[in-house]
Amino acid sequence: MPARATVTVDLGKVRANARAVVDQLPGISVVAVTKVTCGSPQVGRAMLAGGARALGDSRLENAQRLRDAGLTAPIWLLRAPPPELAGETVQLTDVSLESELETVVALDNAAAAAGRRHAIVAMVDLGDLREGMLPADLPAFLGRVNVMDHIDIAGIGVNLTCYGAIVPDEDNLGRLAELAAQSEKQLGRPLLVSGGNSGSIGMATSGRMPAAVNSLRIGETILLGVDTLTREPTLGLHLDAVTVSAPVIECFVKPSLPSGMSAQDAFGNFPTFTDRGERRRAICALGRQDAPPDGLAPVDPRVEVLGASSDHLILDIDAMDRPPALGESVTFVPTYAATLQLFTSPYVHKVFTPPA
């Protein structure tokens, strides 16, 4: 029984989820995104074994981790680097998502110095207001990049849902398809068309995806098994490929209503409480420094997450037949936000099963 908070990744379920997603997307190349796991090589291998054609990550540190582990699959850098990191970008990754000409110039120079070529996907903003140039600027951008000696224009792409929560639909992805056709005519060759992330899967599986879209960048749906537009289960995927367990460090019957004069809590909030009488509650060795408490769903439905401080997760366990013993772990399924934070926390142990 682990003596500290532990994230467990079932690599068999990750592989099975990847295979199910790939099989549901005929004609679309899947770039499997490892960033929520901080570039875990074990997870990357499982995704590739499930049929992904490449791996995507947003940080060069994670790309380095994947390369150091011996992965030779194509790696996409999903967050454009500052020009000063162009050298690392061309050394560690094969493709990067770009919208700033100055950065692409730096990549061209770095690739020349390294005796390599580097491919880019030109990103356009179609409403979500994260990265991407405005569509009107795309032809001039492509014209400038197309004459560079060490840069290949792999395709064009869009990001949706991540910042502005804009849903992929016939309008925005139809516009992407139009831009792709115009760009292919301008360059005189076919292009990869990257139609977004996990949020675009529903367009494809419902038959509404424009035929031009031939690539998606998918992470959350493979790892957590949910439709990212609704956070509901999708495609019959495993929902528990990632779990987190934390040991109980205290278990008492206490009042459910704090007593005394109240002020702000440790995070500047003014919490409210309902008097439910005396209830048995447990504290687990996990806190907001590791994960948001509202992103942890107990596997045992008799457990209720009440809240957390920096280092203590407070649970109502009154409905359990027997209280957990000290050191006994309580297990949760994390949301995307919680998974991201759990993998980033150095205080949470990571276990991969079966071993990669």
Q: Catalytic amino acids?
A: 35
The 3-state DSSP class for residue 267 equals coil
Query: Which pair of structure tokens corresponds to residue 350?
Result: 């990571």
The 3-state DSSP class for residue 88 equals helix
CB-based contacts of 225, cutoff 8 Å, min separation 6: 17, 233, 234, 235, 237, 238, 239, 240, 241
CA distance 321 to 300: 11
CA distance 106 to 66: 24
Instruction: From residue 345, give the alpha-carbon distance in Å to each of 26, 41, 112, 340.
Output: 37, 17, 38, 9
CA distance 255 to 272: 14
Let me know: does 58 contact 89? Beta carbons within 8 Å. Answer: no
Give burial (CB, 10 Å; 0-12/13-18/19+) of 325.
exposed
